[in-house]
Amino acid sequence: MKQAVVCLGNELVGDDGAGIRIGRVLKRLELPDSIDVLIRPNLGLDLIELLEEYEEIVIVDAMTSGRSPGSCVRLETADAASMASCPSCSHSLGIPEILQLVARMQPDRADRAVRIVGIEAASIDRFGLGLSEPVRRALPDAVALVLEAVGGLETFGEEARRVAEAEASAAISIEDVLRPERVYSGESSSG
């Protein structure tokens, strides 16, 4: 079974970079060949194309749902889609709206396995580098949830925690963020 972990975010907006950092952690682990880690700034209706290519998709992103900053949750498609604020609008699409539109446009794919791992942001409404302290502390827990979502890869537990802790505390600069090969390849300032 082919799976994709799609890690989303923008490191120029503080905690919104959590998904990108989780993606870099996952790229450093020797995951099975059946799991592709995709690091992207956003996801739109290209989710339809991903559903053609992969049997299961795990979307990883920062969120603001009212939970305590740093809270990590795993949501199934229906739970996430029910959070949509404007399910019939194609402007300013968030993950919930995308999931609802995909279900309407391609109902035969609505039951495909799409899960979301979210990490509650302290703030994603102002520019700034680095993660807030609650999100930084929670990064290893979010990585563990992703590994669980792709099939319970507990064997990566200690290594994943170590790599996630290093990534969470890695300093980044604007120059680092503006080097797309760094973001998308999984390279990090921490080595």
Amino acid at the residue 174: I
pLDDT at 45: 75
Q: State if pTM tops 0.75.
A: yes
Give the per-residue pLDDT at 48.
79
CA nearest 113: which of 42, 54, 72? 54
- What pLDDT, on a 0 to 100 scale, did the predictor assign at position 92? 46
Residues facing residue 128 across a β-bridge: 13
pLDDT value, residue 183: 52
pLDDT at 82: 56
- CA–CA separation, 12 and 16 (whole Å): 8
C-alpha separations of 35 from 149, 153, 177 in Å: 11, 11, 25
Q: What pLDDT does residue 142 have?
A: 96
141 φ, ψ (degrees, to nearest 5):
-70, -40
The one-letter amino acid at 75:
L
Helix orientation angle between 18-28 and 133-149, rounded to the nearest 10 degrees: 50
pLDDT under 70: residue ranges of the chain: 77-93, 108-112, 180-191
CATH superfamily of 3-185: HybD-like (3.40.50.1450)
In this predicted structure, what is the pLDDT of residue 145?
Answer: 94
pLDDT of residue 72: 95
